[in-house]
Amino acid sequence: MEKFTTLTAVAAPLPMVNIDTDKIIPKQFLKTIKRTGLREGLFYELRTTTDGKKLDGFVLDQPAYRNAKILVAGDNFGCGSSREHAPWALLDFGIRCVISTSFADIFYSNCFKNGILPIKVTKEELGKLMDDASRGANATISIDLAKQEIRGPDGGCIKFDVDPFRKHCLLNGLDDIGLTMEKGDEIDAFEAKQKAAQPWRQA
């Protein structure tokens, strides 16, 4: 998993509430277990007509936001089913951080496991960041995970909370497998001890 330390990037405003995981990535895109190639399905129903034609105007399709890496979204982002394809699709597009006042618990957890930083802010702070994001590519937002700070294009600073363990995992690029491999020496030592003590159990 890619580390998340600092990020300075264009932020796309998505002032919609209760965006569920089916809106993020509809069910027809869940047939794959690959984490790549899902960007085309991201917000598919908001970006295309029922017969698959591109709609004009969706924020991530506008020239100013096509390289956005931060999403500033309305309340209760990621509600609905627990599909892990939702953070996969965001990440495949290039989104590394989602900022909102609230997230569904499972989506929130899945973001950390896939290298995306979800940040909770107050309504007032979200309004300011939404305004910053609406300025387009000329205004960038900077995020420092170690300092737990968001800085807007005007230099204003917003502090945010994050669980220390999840922060450690993101800063060091550790997913569940990575966390296990941190204990590699201890695992090897245990296996060697077991092999010596119970050689008949070895294949």
Q: Tens digit of pLDDT for each residue in 115-125? A: 999 999 999 99
> Strand, coil or helix: what is 3?
coil
pLDDT value of position 182: 59
- Distance CA(115)–CA(96), nearest Å, equals 7
Residue with tokens 């950390």: 112
> Strand, coil or helix: what is 147?
coil
- Distance CA(174)–CA(34), nearest Å, equals 19
In-domain check, residue 182: no
- Using the predicted structure, report yes or no on whether residue 126 has a pLDDT greater than 70: yes
Residue pair 146/136 in contact (Cβ under 8 Å)? The answer is no
On average, the pLDDT of the chain sits at 90
Residue pair 18/76 in contact (Cβ under 8 Å)? The answer is yes
In-domain check, residue 18: yes
In-domain check, residue 167: yes
| pLDDT (tens digit per residue) in 134-161 | 999 888 999 999 999 999 999 899 999 9
| pLDDT (tens digit per residue) in 98-107 | 999 999 999 9
Strands 6-14, 140-144: parallel, antiparallel or unpaired by DSSP? antiparallel
User: How is the beta sheet containing 6-14 ordered, strand by strand?
Assistant: 117-120, 97-100, 70-73, 6-14, 140-144, 149-151, 157-159
| pLDDT (tens digit per residue) in 5-29 | 999 999 999 999 999 999 999 998 8
Least confident piece of the model among 7-11, 45-49, 131-135? 45-49
Element (H, E) at 191: helix 184-197
- Using the predicted structure, report yes or no on whether residue 194 has a pLDDT greater than 90: no
Burial class (CB in 10 A: 0-12, 13-18, 19+), 199: exposed
Count up the domains in the chain and report the number: 1
Q: Where residue 192 falls among pLDDT bands split at 50, 70, 90?
A: low
DSSP 77-119: BTBSS--THHHHHHHHHT--EEEES-B-HHHHHHHHHTT-EEE
The pLDDT of 192-203, averaged and rounded, is 69
In-domain check, residue 197: no
State which residues form the domain around 91. 6-172
Residue pair 98/77 in contact (Cβ under 8 Å)? The answer is yes
In-domain check, residue 195: no
In-domain check, residue 193: no
The pair of three-digit structure tokens given for residue 198, joined into one six-digit string: 């119970």
Q: What CATH number does residue 41 fall under?
A: 3.20.19.10
| pLDDT (tens digit per residue) in 59-85 | 999 999 999 999 999 999 999 988 999
The pair of three-digit structure tokens given for residue 144, joined into one six-digit string: 């420092």
Residue type, 32: T
Q: What is the pTM of this model?
A: 0.87
Least confident piece of the model among 20-24, 77-81, 175-179, 193-197? 175-179
pLDDT value of position 7: 98
In-domain check, residue 78: yes
Share of the chain above pLDDT 90, in %: 70
In-domain check, residue 31: yes
